[in-house]
Amino acid sequence: MSSQPLLPLGFRYSAISAGIRKDGRIDVALIAAERPATVAALFTRNLVRAAPVLVAAERAARGLASAVLVNSGNANACTGEPGLAAARDTSAAVARALGVAPEQVLPASTGVIGALLPAAKICDKAEALVAALSPAAHEDFAQAICTTDRWKKVASRRIGDAATGPVVLAMAKGAGMIHPDLGLLRPGTEQVAGVPHATMLAFLLTDAQVSRETLERALIAATNVTFNACSVDGDTSTNDTVIAMASGANSTAVTEAALTVALTEVCDELARSMARDGEGAEHLAVIEVRGLADDAAARQIAKTVATSSLVKTALFGQDANWGRLLAAAGRAGVAFDPSRARISIGNERIVHDGLAVGAEAEARAAKVLAADSYVVRLELGDGPGVAHYYTCDFGHGYVDVNAGYRS
């Protein structure tokens, strides 16, 4: 992760404390475009959706936005009509301070479910939030959106080969309730086939000149192999949001393919960081599945293995328990021949043709499991299907964080 990320032209950032969080940390953040930006957005497909998700999805469907308003410490989920009013009132206050229409401000929230957002606290700070806007305050924004995150999550890339070409800046939060199932939420759209759900927020900003349709296609393609292939705990939240904005401030031409590559790279870096930062986690594990009939079949097995509590606790114990890996693959609902299975941890093969290689191989694999990150590879045939899933170990720390999350 770069300590000095590339910054796209046409955006400013700010973050202040509005007193939403008990600890007094900065908890309200703003991204403002210098002029209305092209926008594409994906949201959780959990049937229980937070008020800011409903409001932002409606507004993002217009294809243009001037700002994103984010708060941490309160999800404003399961709060009914008062929650919707709070999302609208806070974004309207910021819109007035910015001099734009309320529909141009997209709200997002993260925190405890079931508590009404204290809108007055944010409205009272709206002018100060706008006054603090600066092109250099992206780090403050990235910090303000964190909840149980142990570190900020920021990534950037340049699009294409031109040295002065457009860039992408991505900022995200997420450490628990991570298992995204992100898709389009607007009437008449075909939902992209989903994998899981989560409490994650991600904001991608670029100064490229692109249409809404191009930005949306690139965002969907990037998300499906990154955020939608990432799991900390397999649990479902109400607030997942990924918003991409393009200011058009850099006139260098870019192709959709180059944009997709750049978005995928930053989303991949952030997805890995979220899994690595899983509440109580000590390791990032990449579950890689090969040899199935197609990628969808490989992905289903990778997801099942990545979300298995028995697999994840074995990873925490640095135990090369291949029986748990193979058993999880076998219950994924995908046909394969177990007698052909080969399993490796890093470069250490521990299962060959469905049988254990031996204790020495498992001992070497256990040393791999002590690393910060590693690949667990399941080869289950000779088909072309391949997929990956990012996950983490599951230990005492996760219970400690979540048993006292509201207290």
Q: Which of 70, 80, 79 is nearest to 20 (CA)?
A: 70
Tokens of 146: 């964190």
Per-residue pLDDT at 193: 37
Place of tokens 């509201």: 406
Backbone phi, psi, residue 250, to 5°: -110, 120
The topology under which CATH files domain 284-403 is Ubiquitin-like (UB roll) (3.10.20)
Per-residue pLDDT at 317: 95
Domain boundaries, the chain: 11-276, 284-403
Annotation says 260 is catalytic? no
Tokens of 172: 């995200």
Residues of the chain predicted below pLDDT 70: 1-3, 187-199, 236, 404-407
Per-residue pLDDT at 189: 54
What is the Cα 109 distance to its own chain's centre?
14
The CATH number assigned to the domain with range 11-276 reads 3.60.70.12
Backbone phi, psi, residue 75, to 5°: -80, -15
Q: What global pTM score does this model have?
A: 0.92
Instruction: Please give the order of strands across the beta sheet that includes 342-345.
Output: 355-356, 348-352, 342-345, 373-379, 284-291, 383-392
The proportion of the chain whose per-residue pLDDT surpasses 90, expressed as a percent, equals: 81
Query: In Å, what is the CA distance from 196 to each residue of 28, 62, 236, 307, 379?
Result: 28, 27, 7, 10, 23
Per-residue pLDDT at 194: 37
Summarised one tens digit per residue, pLDDT across range 14-50 is: 999 999 988 889 999 999 999 999 999 999 989 999 9
Q: Which of 87, 100, 89, 94 is nearest to 55 (CA)?
A: 87
Q: Cα separation of 400 and 211, whole Å?
A: 46
Q: Per the residue annotation, which of 90, 147, 148, 199 is the catalytic one? A: 199
Summarised one tens digit per residue, pLDDT across range 160-169 is: 998 999 999 9
